[in-house]
Structure 1
Amino acid sequence: MIVRPGDARYAELTHRGYNTRFVASPDEIWLVHSASQVEKAVHQAIAKNQRITVRSGGHCFENLVDDPQFRLLVDMSEMKSVTFDPALNAFAVEAGAQLGEVYKALYEGWGVTVPGGVCPEVGVGGHVSGGGYGPLSRRFGLVVDHLYAIEIVVADSRGRACTIVATREANDPHRDLWWAHTGGGGGGFGIVTRFWFRTPGATGGPSSLLPKPPSRMRETFVTWPWAQLTEADFTRLVMNHGAWHAANSTPGSPYQVMHSSFQLHSSLAQTIQLEIRMDATLPNTAKLHDDYISAVCAGVGVRPTIDIKEGTWLDIALEPTASYGAYSRQKSMGGHLRKPLTATQVGAVYRSLTDPNHNGVGLVYLAAYGCQINTLSSSARAIAQRDSVIKLWYANNWSEPADDAIEVEWLRTLRKNVHGATGGFPVPNDQQDGGYINYPDVDMRDPAQNTSGVPWYSLIWKGNYPRLQQVKNTYDPKNVFRHGLSLDPS
């Protein structure tokens, strides 16, 4: 189905993006149902010289999809089936499915899951291609560590679209194309229409081919009120949290069954919060849980409120993400930490979060990483960060277009102050380990913003960049598939 301006459906389809700073305005939106239909869209885009882009769930934080340069938008939202494919002995997931739909189908159908993200509304296409992580990743690795194959529409040197199935098999001539979608990001090599998942080395029937989640989970929110926190208390909390993760994120740690995210909201939000999710079925769950909270709280003069609940894994996995409501304009960027933030860096965070001239909902998000994630080499998948202990995300949300400049600058100032020693970005070194394509920031590509001297692509992919560049040269030599953070053919 093709929707054009003037169609009653056009407005809804163009406003699906998460970040309302950017709204799509294509000449055509193709709601596709198969790879063959995607091929037709690509054929037309090449023939008419239309910039083409693709949307899965619509949660891209930057204007990598909702950019006025794009004239043909391929919308994958109707392609969301989840089935078992006996021919490939793997689970086939169409690229338009949302994570929650995947979790529900895999668990109710076969009792298995993939260790994907915490937000059930996020689309599979971009999440997987960028190397997604989530609450089960410390135990089972990244979602791409279980990716067996992809179906993708690419464009050859003569401008012809074709569909390729690329697998991780060593003898597959398209193996590098599969590898590029284990962290290389979506929309820069072609349009993925389907993913297949099977854990490496897994054998037997479908119910033994992917990880089995715990039958029950414990979810805890530990909350501190900003009104009672001094700078010393705040610093101690963040330093305690970082030190704990540095000590408890090695492969095989008893804490691999636990995920947490420290959500340091700006003072406008009135609280900061530690969310914990962990396997509730283990005999030492309560002790691990309580010892972790005690370690984070040690020496802090403010007692938090602690709210604990338990439920089935699926019920908690399908909890909707908290909405920012009218605060839907956004700027963010992310990265990885091999070692915790220093006291100087935490001080920079505190100053930004308590900035009286800041009217947005700012957030520094410190997510648990490491454990099983760090058992693979940096080149095994396209996502190179395999010895980090914390995933980092800076974000700012606000409501008024008139505030765009000041609120974007707030985020930039936070980033520059925290990473001032390395040109304003988390340049890989002994403490930091670069960016994350699923938390994109086009400032990386701007020499006025990125003063690190390190190219944007090396910030994200480090030593995996040359191999990704070769995939781009091979499968998209005419640069049909491009956006603000995609590689150009060389």
Structure 2
Amino acid sequence: RRAGLLTVTARDVRYSGLTSGQNQLFKSNPECIRLPRTTEQVVQAVQEAVRTGKRLSVRGGGHCYENFVDHPDVKVIIDMADMRQVDYDPQRRAIMVEGGATLGEVYHTIFRRWGVTLPGGACYTVGVGGHVSGGGYGNLSRLHGLVVDHLYAVEVVVVDPDGRARAVVATREADDPHRDLWWAHTGGGGGSFGVVTRYWFRTPGATGTDPSALLPAPPSDVFVVWLRWPWEKLTETRFTRLVRNYGTWTEQNSSPTSPYKGLTARLEPAAKAAGSVLLSVQMDTAVPNARGLLLDFLDAVNDGVGVTPEEYQELHQLPWMQATGWPGFWMSNPTDRYKYKSSYQRKGLTDEQIGGLHRVLTDSDYDHPAFVVSIAAHGGQVNAVGPTETAQPHRDTVLKLLWGTSWANPGDDTRQFDYIRRAFSTVYASTGGVPVPNAVTDGCYISYADGDLTDPRYNASGVPWHDLYWKGNYPALQRAKARYDRTNVFRHAQSIRLPHTV
């Protein structure tokens, strides 16, 4: 402990447990880990790292998909786990969440205290710090938009050009001199501008001082169902029909005015070794004719497939609070190794893309059941926001895909990397192996970070990685970078680059 700031070094029993996150592909060897409890201590930790010339990184929940935190060159990790307070701030009329809180802590606290929620992800152990800065997407996003659509303000510890660390509060108010820093945290990703110590949330247009009226209320109850189609019954024709049906339905039902905004769904084709293709669905029971709409959706997805899906879990009603972490198959095991990729679709997958997906999923040489593509119905209220209103530009899409696999044995690294890369590049072969922004596809999601996008062996599209993530918003993010981190203290393999004029 130094001046109240907890510091863990290699001689401490806690060191090993604090030098890796959820993904055991990455383990760091820093000189120390700092665990601040206040914004002032974050300023102190950053200042000392800058003064001594030591590269730093910041850990929130530890779910980073690449080695942006646990990098060999990092000498100081600032671990935000001790900053987890959630409270109402009457001065800003907003709900304040510290940067080290997890999604589960936030959901439970704000629901129990005020009956409100944020439309974030389904994995409770994900940290708010990185999740929000990347945009924040989850099961309620079709109903209430992205988390950043409710972000009022952010407190960030930045480093001035003269090397002085300080805390800046930036709001979405039009006359705020730091509004560009707020905007950069509405989808620009973590680790580029500073250390997020606090977020404040208030839905645009919300009035008054009652916190129960400042954020959206979740559904009281939801219908939930899982269906599965056994691979043994799915010919290529049947598989194509199933995936095409799902894509067509999302094209027709992903506008902000759709009666299906209250439905979230994930079609999850897994490698054939897993045994089946799954569909998980959740529907707000308060929507008029909710049960009928849900059954119509299921009929539309299975229309003409020729296989009666098995009920993995029959349709039934649950309180939203009990169902909020469901449906989902992405509760990562902190003892495993992982590789992820992402893609957005403006249209359903084309027949060419579906054919490529079928070929790789049914590859008889690949017998690993953990590989899966989670194809989430997107859009709804997400698409009510313009592409430049936040840094997250993907605002006219109908599908959001998370590609992933996990394994335990380091000896399997090459095999697993080769397969997921081949699967992804096969599906997007006609556009250089990645989902370039065009009439059908729309790039990638920074919170599902993928280091392969910077490598011409895997991205032969000619579209740079930053345009896949941010499209036309990237220059504005670079300007914010130049203003708040001109000396590039906060950096990683896919952090915002300083503009060439700096």
TM-score by length of 2: 0.95
What corresponds to 1:95 in structure 2? 99
2:261 corresponds to 1:265: no
Comparing 152-161 and 356-365, the one that deviates more: 356-365
Query: In the alignment, which of 39, 47, 50 is matched to residue 51 of structure 2?
Result: 47
What corresponds to 1:180 in structure 2? 184
Contact 2:29–2:75 (Cα < 8 Å) also in 1: yes
Amino acid at match of 2:344: H
What corresponds to 2:290 in structure 1? 285
Summarize deviations over 1:79-124 as a string: whole Å, max 9, x none.
Answer: 1111000000000001111111111111110111111112122110
Q: Provide structure 1 residue ranges, at least 5 long, that are not aligned to the other structure.
A: none
How far off is 1:365 after superposition? Answer: 1.2
Query: In the alignment, which of 371, 378, 383 is matched to residue 374 of structure 1?
Result: 383
2:322 corresponds to 1:335: no
How far off is 1:311 after superposition? Answer: 1.6
Summarize deviations over 1:143-200 as a string: whole Å, max 9, x none.
Answer: 0000000010000101111000000000000000000000000111111011000000
What corresponds to 1:25 in structure 2? 29
Amino acid at match of 2:441: Q
Instruction: For 1:176 and 1:454, locate their aligned partners in 2 and report how far apart those are by CA, in whole Å.
Output: 25
Partner-residue secondary structure (3-state), 1:478: coil
Query: In the alignment, which of 408, 416, 431 is matched to residue 417 of structure 2?
Result: 408
What corresponds to 2:207 in structure 1? 203
Give the total of aligned pairs.
Answer: 489
What corresponds to 1:310 in structure 2? 317
Q: Provide structure 2 residue ranges, at least 5 long, that are not aligned to the other structure.
A: 1-5
Instruction: For 1:121 and 1:311, locate their aligned partners in 2 and report how far apart those are by CA, in whole Å.
Output: 22
How far off is 1:332 after superposition? Answer: 1.3
Contact 2:222–2:285 (Cα < 8 Å) also in 1: yes
What corresponds to 1:161 in structure 2? 165
Structure 1 residues 122 and 325, CA gap change in structure 2 (3 angstroms): closer
Runs of 4+ in 1 over 3 A off after TM superposition: 318-327
How far off is 1:359 after superposition? Answer: 4.2
Instruction: For 2:361 and 2:334, locate their aligned partners in 1 and report how far apart those are by CA, in whole Å.
Output: 20
What corresponds to 2:373 in structure 1? 364
Partner-residue secondary structure (3-state), 2:72: coil
Instruction: For 1:244 and 1:41, locate their aligned partners in 2 and report how far apart those are by CA, in whole Å.
Output: 50
Query: In the alignment, which of 74, 79, 82 is matched to residue 78 of structure 1?
Result: 82
Contact 1:146–1:199 (Cα < 8 Å) also in 2: yes
Query: In the alignment, which of 221, 227, 232 is matched to residue 232 of structure 2?
Result: 227
Structure 1 residues 24 and 310, CA gap change in structure 2 (3 angstroms): farther
What corresponds to 1:447 in structure 2? 456
Summarize deviations over 1:331-385 as a string: whole Å, max 9, x none.
Answer: 1111211001111111111111122222432111111111111111100000001
How far off is 1:215 after superposition? Answer: 0.8
How far off is 1:281 after superposition? Answer: 2.9
Partner-residue secondary structure (3-state), 1:275: strand
Comparing 166-175 and 115-124, the one that deviates more: 115-124
What corresponds to 1:483 in structure 2? 492
How far off is 1:454 after superposition? Answer: 1.1
Instruction: For 1:468 and 1:260, locate their aligned partners in 2 and report how far apart those are by CA, in whole Å.
Output: 32
How far off is 1:6 after superposition? Answer: 2.1
Summarize deviations over 1:245-300 as a string: whole Å, max 9, x none.
Answer: 01111111000011111111112221221111111233411101100111111111
Comparing 439-448 and 189-198, the one that deviates more: 439-448
Structure 1 residues 429-444: aligned runs within 5 Å: 429-444=438-453
Structure 1 residues 189-200: aligned runs within 5 Å: 189-200=193-204
Partner-residue secondary structure (3-state), 1:259: strand
Comparing 313-322 and 284-293, the one that deviates more: 313-322
How far off is 1:399 after superposition? Answer: 2.1
Amino acid at match of 1:2: T
Comparing 265-274 and 153-162, the one that deviates more: 265-274
Partner-residue secondary structure (3-state), 2:442: strand
Amino acid at match of 2:54: Q
TM-score by length of 1: 0.97
How far off is 1:309 after superposition? Answer: 3.0
Query: In the alignment, which of 337, 353, 356 is matched to residue 348 of structure 1?
Result: 356
Instruction: For 1:175 and 1:72, locate their aligned partners in 2 and report how far apart those are by CA, in whole Å.
Output: 29
What corresponds to 2:109 in structure 1? 105
Contact 2:281–2:327 (Cα < 8 Å) also in 1: no
Question: In angstroms, what is the RMSD of aligned CA positions?
Answer: 1.4
Contact 1:120–1:317 (Cα < 8 Å) also in 2: no
Partner-residue secondary structure (3-state), 1:274: strand
2:18 corresponds to 1:13: yes
How far off is 1:27 after superposition? Answer: 1.2
How far off is 1:18 after superposition? Answer: 1.9
What corresponds to 1:124 in structure 2? 128
Summarize deviations over 1:405-464 as a string: whole Å, max 9, x none.
Answer: 121111111111111111111110011111110011111112232211111111110110
Query: In the alignment, which of 388, 391, 402 is matched to residue 400 of structure 2?
Result: 391
Partner-residue secondary structure (3-state), 2:287: coil
What corresponds to 1:217 in structure 2? 222
Partner-residue secondary structure (3-state), 2:193: coil
